[in-house]
Amino acid sequence: MNYAFLIDNRKCIGCHACSTACKSENEVPVGVNRTWVKYVEKGEFPDTRRYFQVTRCNHCARPPCVPICPTKAMYRRDDGIVEFDSDVCIGCKACMQACPYDAIHIDPDSGTAAKCHFCAHRTDVGLEPACVVVCPVHAIIAGDIDDGSSEISRLLAAHDVSVRKPELATRPKLFYIDAERSALLPMAAAQDSGMLSAQWPGEGNGKGNGATDWRGPIQIAPGMMAGALLRGGLGAAARETYNVPHRVPWHWQVPAYLVTKAIGAGAFLVAAAGVALGLLPSLPLFTTIASWIALLFIALTTGLLVWDLDRPERFWTILVRPQWRSWLTRGAVILIAFPLVAGAFGLADVLGRPDAARFLAWPGVLLAILSAVYTAFLFAQAEGRELWRSRLLSWHLFGQAVMAGAATLSIAGLFVAIPAEAVRVLSWTLGASLVANLLLAAAEFALPHASRAATAAARMITHGRYAPHYWGSVIGGLAAPLLLIGLAGSLPSVALAGALSLAGLFFYEWAFVMAPQQVPNN
């Protein structure tokens, strides 16, 4: 058995009966939708036409929302329905980032993920989903596509159908007959503030339910609107006139977490590796203090992650009900193991056990590297944010950790006595990491991107609303510190360069995290 939906756009009249029935049947709160009808208009008066597209979860055969969920709250049933369990959801919103169709939302009443679930409570007793029953023109067909005699199988065999974003290989099972391409492709239709009966909402509420702050056309870059990005080959210009608000799941806590994680992992990495290789002296700054820095900033990292959850009191669920395919789960284990080893390393030094410290140094370095780079694999699982799926990201996160570690140790060196040779090592380490990060920051956006969504996000960073953050980080957080180190190699100048690099790192992460979330997927 393999359930799927088919939407016959030849029949749909845009009456919203499916949306209303879904809300009533599943008690969906006001402000969020499990199914909705998108309107797109094309042409010039009087030769115009309005197209309707019923949109909801695609119940993918390879659903990216399932492996990224850290607690198995999102799962795929044997009959092909992608279901969710609100009782174990922690509100991390990772599934929202993974969904390439913007089909998942956070329920404002429960603080947990929700979406179309094929009216599983009805399907399980032999009834059709509420949207199918209520449709007055029978434009929505649901059924078992493995059953050759079912209505949906016969229609799929008799007609050419379309799906959304087939290039992502999610194998969606929401099929459309006679789909309008400008409605099917996100950003193909120009989006502005004038809807049929309302304006776009303003700023969100600071949590996963907030809308974006767009008030006019979606401007990817100055003079470049989203509708123009895909207009080639679509015929007349299309304009979106009805849709649900696009939402930004992750907020300031995530860019901040990337910075604190880089500091905690990088400080231990630079110090422990430097001491183990004989490049840095075995002084308290590079042993005990470096361990304290790691413990403090990894604790801050964990706190920021929990803060961003919509159900923070359920954080422990990751450990008792782990989904091991999720890099959120793997990352949580790494963030627990790393400070344990780093703390033991520092304690061994305090207790005068250099042999134990040497034994723990390289395992600690390995865990520091894993702490720094695991987010690259988490972002790769977020298939709905295509810019994040960069092959350079793990190297970039490693380079940022080394830079942040050298910067933090240089600043801490102002308060303790360290020899000139150690200052030179920190100066060279910071300088080399600044060069590496400068090259990676340039390559990340200069190289061609694999999709229009990734291109749109990259343009938004380099030429659009996040350009001040990006160029500020490149010039003020990378180039200027590098120049400062080159002109003066004293500890105060290296520490100042380090402080600038840390500020620039936050601005860079802000742009990199926020811009891809602004690109709509429906």
At position 394, the amino acid (one-letter code) is S
363 CB-contact burial (10 Å; exposed 0-12 / middle 13-18 / buried 19+): middle
The owner of tokens 């067909």 is 141
Do the beta carbons of residue 499 and residue 412 sit within 8 Å? no
* 277 token code pair: 């290789």
CA 415 to chain centre: 38
Residues 299 and 486: their CA atoms lie apart, in Å, by 34
Residues near 84 by Cβ (< 8 Å), separated by ≥ 6?
73, 74, 75, 112, 113, 114, 115, 117
Residues 409 and 400: their CA atoms lie apart, in Å, by 14
Residues near 160 by Cβ (< 8 Å), separated by ≥ 6?
177
Q: Which residues are bridge partners to 44 per DSSP?
A: 47
The pLDDT of residue 86 is: 95
The owner of tokens 């990216």 is 64
The pLDDT of residue 230 is: 39
CATH class of 253-518: mainly alpha
The pLDDT of residue 196 is: 67
Taking the C-alpha atoms of 263, 268, 270 and 273 in order, what is their torsion angle to the nearest 10 degrees? -160
Residues 243 and 41: their CA atoms lie apart, in Å, by 12
Task: Give the count of beta carbons closer than 10 Å to the beta carbon of residue 16.
Answer: 16
Q: What three-state secondary structure class fits 107?
A: coil
The pLDDT of residue 194 is: 59
Q: Residues of CATH 1.20.1630.10 domain(s) within the chain? A: 253-518
Taking the C-alpha atoms of 455, 457, 459 and 460 in order, what is their torsion angle to the nearest 10 degrees? 160
The pLDDT of residue 465 is: 93
Angstrom CA distances, 168 to 7, 320, 325, 385, 451, stand at 21, 32, 19, 12, 10
Residues 169 and 166: their CA atoms lie apart, in Å, by 6
Architecture of domain 3-242: 2-Layer Sandwich (3.30)
The pLDDT of residue 311 is: 96
3-state helix, strand, coil in the chain (%, to 5): 50, 10, 35
- Give per-residue pLDDT as tens, 340-360: 999 999 999 899 898 999 999
Strands 238-242 and 190-191: parallel
pLDDT tens by residue, the chain, 522 residues: 999 999 999 999 999 999 999 999 999 999 899 999 999 998 888 888 999 999 999 999 999 999 999 999 999 999 999 999 999 999 999 999 999 999 999 999 999 999 999 999 999 999 999 999 999 999 999 999 999 999 999 999 999 999 999 999 999 999 999 999 989 988 888 876 556 655 444 433 333 333 343 333 344 344 444 444 433 344 457 888 888 888 899 999 999 999 999 999 999 999 999 999 999 999 999 999 999 999 999 999 999 999 999 999 999 999 999 999 999 999 999 999 999 999 999 999 899 898 999 999 999 999 999 999 999 999 999 999 999 999 999 999 999 999 999 999 999 999 998 999 999 999 999 999 999 999 999 999 988 888 888 999 999 999 999 999 999 999 999 999 999 998 877 899 999 999 999 999 999 999 999 999 999 898
At position 1, the amino acid (one-letter code) is M
DSSP label at residue 193: S
* 484 token code pair: 């400062």
Helix 393-412 vs helix 420-446: crossing angle, to nearest 10: 150
Q: What three-state secondary structure class fits 495?
A: helix
* String of DSSP letters for 311-378: SGGGTTHHHHS--TT-HHHHHHHHHHHHHHHHHHHHHHHHTT-HHHHHHHHHHHHHHHHHHHHHHHHH
The pLDDT of residue 236 is: 59
Q: Residues of CATH 3.30.70.20 domain(s) within the chain? A: 3-242
Do the beta carbons of residue 5 and residue 34 sit within 8 Å? no
- Give per-residue pLDDT as tens, 292-318: 999 999 999 999 999 999 999 999 999
CA 226 to chain centre: 20
